[in-house]
Amino acid sequence: MLDGPREYAWFAVALLLVLGGTIAAGLLPGTWPSQALAGGIIVAGFAVAWLALGVEFRDVE
């Protein structure tokens, strides 16, 4: 799972992206470009978290 400082740092970045995107979705206007940007930030956060968890969680047999 998370073995060293680098993995914890990437997981913290992922957490900040997801939280930042969620807050941005509430604060930005309801136009589609603003909401698409906020959604993209959230998706990027989940992608970084997926990469930070490591290979053992991605190789499901």
Domain that holds residue 25: 5-58
pLDDT of residue 4: 74
8 Å CB contact between 21 and 45: yes
* pLDDT given at position 58: 59
- What pLDDT score was predicted for residue 51? 86
Domain count, the chain: 1
Given this model, what pLDDT does residue 57 score? 62
- Output phi, psi for 19, to 5 deg: -65, -40
- Predicted local confidence at residue 56, as pLDDT: 59
pLDDT along the chain (61 residues), means of 10: 75 95 95 96 94 67 58
User: What is the structure's pLDDT at 20?
Assistant: 97
Tokens for 37?
Answer: 């940007």
Q: How far apart are CA 7 and CA 16, in angstroms?
A: 14
